[in-house]
Structure 1
């Protein structure tokens, strides 16, 4: 009853026992017998040893000396390394090297042999193997990502199974050490309990755990309270005057600005709509429909600038605008030379012998650099996007459209590919008529210093990179007169005086950078200057709104200068809040939310189902942006409710490992999720743990068809990882999805 529920809320969750796992591992039983003594914890020692080895094996360039034998695969490489590693035996695990050498060379055979030797009942086998990987959940998650990424390209990858074999071998070694009655009895009891678990043990555990039931009850109530607030805002009277300083004007729009659906864009879009009431803003995934691999000058391969659900369809190389082939070759040679020099200098600083003389001889020479870094005048390290390039070249870099063969690979896009992508992008944004004079395509990225998690602040739709290359590529193609002729044959007529501009929204400073302005036709130069003024005013408004959450040193002072300084401060743990606060995803025409302050908590995707013949765009939205938004939401959710397990811990204690992640301190498992400082301001949480609420304006039947056709989407909505709502033709939130294709009408 209500009194019991209030009493349950008053209990300290930290004092409640989570109860036993479905099935305990060997290390867990040993830790239980040692009464939780950290010094005697076999789990902690095992995790430290596996993590240390994984850091060397999966290193991507941080280590001065590479681990030998990495090409053989994790299991073979680990067995070879263990032939020479005496750490386990020094800690009392006798015969460890001999045991490892005796295991089969095939990792699956090794797992099978260990399972039989320690006596895991068949009923508990899957649970046990899952639990074993959970002990090294960070590394297991990273390797699972590598496997998944290879599968996207059709490549087989057995590394997760091999990592499991390593973990099982460690458990087997611990098992072999203990022949005492206390351990054997405890282990036998655990296996007997596991063997009797029913297939519905999860439901039975919930039914017998009133604290968990109460927790779930209040989670539902907590989410319903926020949903009611959001529904109230969305139900505002559309006929009422919009809260803008100037009346909206009829006729052709002076500006259309497309931003990424990222929640930070929602704040900027409101500000820009206030500055330019006659304009229009749109939301679209920040890769702008171009799944590319972008290869910077001086590199043979690049990063995938598209959602992780996709594989790059095109390879785009970087070029120096206005430079001849000879000049580009000279720039390339200079960059490679400078990089080699920087690498040699780094090796000298870090080598086993010269590192000592280096500090003695050069220490004082770094005083100016230390002062400059502390004051935010210089970067702690070179910008990896521009390192080794002359200053006069940096501003001239851009994507190369023309097809050519580079390193045996075809790069660029041919005419047919450009036309197909241009049409898909415009239809995806529901932008096929009424084009403005300027159409801004604004990708986004962040500016931070000394931040191992910087990619988490960049564009998720661009695979953790900035959206600059994608936005510029889309603008170049849409400005091509030949493409416009082709688009007219597809029913999309872009006026001759419409100009597309690629841009980048810096989400830390809220500055907008316009690219390739030198190509803007002379007839639009005056309007370009006006556009730059609009963007400057919108940036200032956005900074002031965000500054409320930044704990500035002088809140009433010069906000612009303080925000800019934070972006350059190498000691700043909260340069911006990223996607903290995200709680909703709305796919509908902008006028449904125009003038509604959504507080920077909503992903906004422009979508008009009336222009979506066959509902191909709806399918794309529900199977890609909606899924990725849910992943982001769950990452923030987990980092709040249990940062120790699902988050990255204290950012101040982080150590970068292998350039692929961080450890908290000098050992332990690879951390996942977000740092504590990314969700908490020191006094309170800046993110509320709410499952994502998805609102889509489309016919119920069309959405149901997508759900039933996609297993991924169905698992998300049927298992309530997110809440799905429907918006009707009148703009009213009319239905809520339940399960198995069923909807409930709202009163």
Structure 2
């Protein structure tokens, strides 16, 4: 082993730390929520980040030019928007000349190559690729290391206090199969020569590989982006640890593992393949000293796709803004029923359908966790799960204090079954293992359906709320309810008020949590609406609310409900006293099903409503259905405004809708909460759909049919190896013929005075970064016009 310096320099430490902070957290399967994969880079302009990840990892943040051309020919991109987009990027041409210029398909520029990639260029085609085996070995090791339900690690390793790097090193030193797989007989000697300490490994690698300080951070980032799936999972573990005041630094260890492999390849070739090593060393030297030139090549290659992407955004924004500025406010004169829905884009379709049933129906949009910062503990268990956005820590624990013991036993049996069904062997392999018995169970489920849902407690449940072990008294509950009502904007109360969460009950779907409510941590909103209904129906809580300005009539009934986003059925968890409400809900279901049929399955349009309804129910139960619904595909806007201004608009299920009345928000406190919570959640959703579409290999999860669960809930492999896959499967984005999601950055429209928006953005650096670095667009919408807020100033749109 060579002698190295005793410690890393301060600048080297900073570069390594910078590299390890480049990855956004990715939540596990049972809490799968949408995330902007580039979230840790929002302090830089979007275009700069797009260039950087293209340079370092070949990641695409735009669609191919051919796709934009198709959309242009379909009329989705307007000429005036093309001219404006080109002008923004300093390109000034006539429309005809611009189209000629933009029609050129840009050649792909070679991205940064790590040492293993360079080594593969001169490696025999009859041998296993260094890159592929490194990814496979690290990925299989991480799966074994983090598997919780059935530990795969040998006991002696688990009893030692080893960090991730040290454990990998011990396992690798004993793995004689690596030399056999790679057809390199003396490979194990290089693992024996690696230092035991990961900090010593960093020093040794930097010295041996001659890594310049100017490219150390970028090299580290390139290595981590090459194992982005596991890196993102470890970033999630670090994020969760930080929320409870702990430190978890496995991302740094993962970087050490990647660097160790680079060192192994370098030294092995140096000793056993002199010609290949000389070629590698020269290429590596040239690359490390010419990173800026490589970056410039990628920036030039993105010039045309960048203009197309911006022109598409302008075209879509222009069309929506025309709708918004032409609208006439429309409020029910005397509402007979109110219904509060999640802001989710899927709610927009159903809300319109429900409002068409009567002019006396009033709907609201509200964040799907219904303002409750809770975690849920089911009776008879010791495990609590968050029911709020992933960015926020829960402060209140909710316990179901009356539960059906038979149902608990059934759910325990179901959980055991599901653990096996979702294990690494894969869901479809269960049929092979269990033979006709499991096949029969699936067939029966297809015919009859599975009426039990793990997140559907008994209707008679009572909920106990505690904070740090103390039960919330009536005053605490009233203050909690007041905060919800303030943000919701509910000032008058009808006889029946529905609190409608949402969930998606599909079968045989490892990523089913991704179709649930993101604001509820990848769970359904059922718990949240049932807890809130209990609070607001409590007469003592209502009495305590009176001095706070809320007079809820005695006859008002809050009904907890759940919107099944596959079937558009509404399940009510309290008895509905008004038969008209029941009829309205069913009629709205039929209407929403008809509208969605255009995207779900054209054959549904040729059915009568009863046949169509039955077909949707079968779809939800179909274990072979890879596209049970389209989720939040094609989302493009977030509108913060009173419903009266969007009530008559068909927004095509593409807009998040949150009710807000600035006249009830004198200090802009409510708007501040909306811009620092729901707006961030919608941005995360939007960017995950965007980047899963533009680069499904790095930021998506490939073919859903090939998914196998890793460690019960950690994530999925596509097939039986490779990196952990993150993001959305192709079946969530593409129908086999065309893209169902159009990548474009979120446009946020706020109906509030400009000073409100200005003051809030000025208070929050994160909002300044998102807006000024163009990760999203913020517009102020008033009676006559729409203005964009950018770089601290207003621009008339």
Answer whether TM exceeds 0.5 for this pair.
yes
Given the alignment of the two structures, is residue 319 of structure 1 paired with residue 401 of structure 2, yes or no? Answer: yes
Task: Return the offset for 1:421.
Answer: 1.3
Q: Aligned equivalents of 1:8 and 1:138: distance in 2?
A: 37
Aligned pair in 2 of structure 1 residues 67, 152: CA closer, same or farther (>3 Å)?
Answer: farther
The within-5 A match list for 1:215-294 is 215-238=305-328, 250-251=333-334, 253-294=335-376
Aligned to 2:469, the other structure's residue is in SS state strand
The within-5 A match list for 1:382-401 is 384-385=454-455, 395-396=458-459, 398=461, 400-401=463-464
Task: Return the offset for 1:638.
Answer: 0.9
Aligned pair in 2 of structure 1 residues 164, 359: CA closer, same or farther (>3 Å)?
Answer: closer
Given the alignment of the two structures, is residue 654 of structure 1 paired with residue 707 of structure 2, yes or no? Answer: yes
Q: Normalising by structure 1, what TM-score?
A: 0.86
Given the alignment of the two structures, is residue 643 of structure 1 paired with residue 715 of structure 2, yes or no? Answer: no
- Of residues 458, 475, 485, the one that matches 1:426 is 485
Task: Return the offset for 1:346.
Answer: 9.2
Q: Aligned equivalents of 2:192 and 2:765: distance in 1?
A: 43
1:324 matched to which residue of 2?
none
Aligned pair in 2 of structure 1 residues 233, 470: CA closer, same or farther (>3 Å)?
Answer: same
**Contact map agreement 2:339 2:499 (CA 8 A) in 1:** yes
Q: Aligned equivalents of 1:554 and 1:332: distance in 2?
A: 35
**Contact map agreement 1:93 1:173 (CA 8 A) in 2:** no
- Aligned residue pairs total 689
**Contact map agreement 1:315 1:412 (CA 8 A) in 2:** no
- Cα distance per residue 1:659-698 (max 9 Å; x no partner): 2211112211111111111111111111111111111112
Given the alignment of the two structures, is residue 186 of structure 1 paired with residue 238 of structure 2, yes or no? Answer: no
1:687 matched to which residue of 2?
741
Q: Aligned equivalents of 1:333 and 1:249: distance in 2?
A: 44
Given the alignment of the two structures, is residue 25 of structure 1 paired with residue 114 of structure 2, yes or no? Answer: yes
1:300 matched to which residue of 2?
382
- Cα distance per residue 1:674-728 (max 9 Å; x no partner): 1111111111111111111111112222222222322222221111111111112
Task: Return the offset for 1:196.
Answer: 4.8
1:56 matched to which residue of 2?
144
**Contact map agreement 2:377 2:384 (CA 8 A) in 1:** yes
**Contact map agreement 1:27 1:43 (CA 8 A) in 2:** yes
- Of residues 765, 768, 774, the one that matches 1:711 is 765
Task: Return the offset for 1:27.
Answer: 1.2
Q: Aligned equivalents of 2:629 and 2:616: distance in 1?
A: 9
**Contact map agreement 1:5 1:214 (CA 8 A) in 2:** no
Q: Aligned equivalents of 2:184 and 2:358: distance in 1?
A: 71
Q: Aligned equivalents of 1:335 and 1:591: distance in 2?
A: 45
2:32 matched to which residue of 1?
none
Q: Aligned equivalents of 1:368 and 1:114: distance in 2?
A: 56
Aligned pair in 2 of structure 1 residues 670, 67: CA closer, same or farther (>3 Å)?
Answer: farther
Aligned pair in 2 of structure 1 residues 205, 333: CA closer, same or farther (>3 Å)?
Answer: closer
Aligned pair in 2 of structure 1 residues 235, 166: CA closer, same or farther (>3 Å)?
Answer: same
- Of residues 705, 709, 727, the one that matches 2:781 is 727
1:546 matched to which residue of 2?
596
Q: Aligned equivalents of 1:688 and 1:402: distance in 2?
A: 42
Q: Aligned equivalents of 1:75 and 1:601: distance in 2?
A: 45
**Contact map agreement 1:60 1:660 (CA 8 A) in 2:** no
Larger RCO, structures 1/2 (Cα 8 Å, 6+ apart): 2
Given the alignment of the two structures, is residue 737 of structure 1 paired with residue 795 of structure 2, yes or no? Answer: no
Given the alignment of the two structures, is residue 492 of structure 1 paired with residue 563 of structure 2, yes or no? Answer: no
Task: Return the offset for 1:397.
Answer: 6.0
1:594 matched to which residue of 2?
647
- Of residues 151, 157, 161, the one that matches 2:248 is 157
2:683 matched to which residue of 1?
630
1:85 matched to which residue of 2?
175
Instruction: Give ranges in structure 1 of 5+ residues lacking alignment.
Output: 243-247, 322-327, 387-393
- Cα distance per residue 1:460-488 (max 9 Å; x no partner): 00000000000111111111122222222
Q: Aligned equivalents of 2:542 and 2:202: distance in 1?
A: 60
Aligned pair in 2 of structure 1 residues 710, 369: CA closer, same or farther (>3 Å)?
Answer: same
Task: Return the offset for 1:344.
Answer: 12
2:628 matched to which residue of 1?
575
Q: Normalising by structure 2, what TM-score?
A: 0.81
**Contact map agreement 2:387 2:528 (CA 8 A) in 1:** yes
Q: Aligned equivalents of 1:592 and 1:145: distance in 2?
A: 39
1:245 matched to which residue of 2?
none
- Cα distance per residue 1:246-283 (max 9 Å; x no partner): xx7533x2111110000000011111111131121111
Instruction: Give ranges in structure 2 of 5+ residues lacking alignment.
Output: 1-92
Q: Aligned equivalents of 1:217 and 1:116: distance in 2?
A: 42
Aligned to 1:580, the other structure's residue is in SS state coil
Q: Aligned equivalents of 1:38 and 1:140: distance in 2?
A: 30
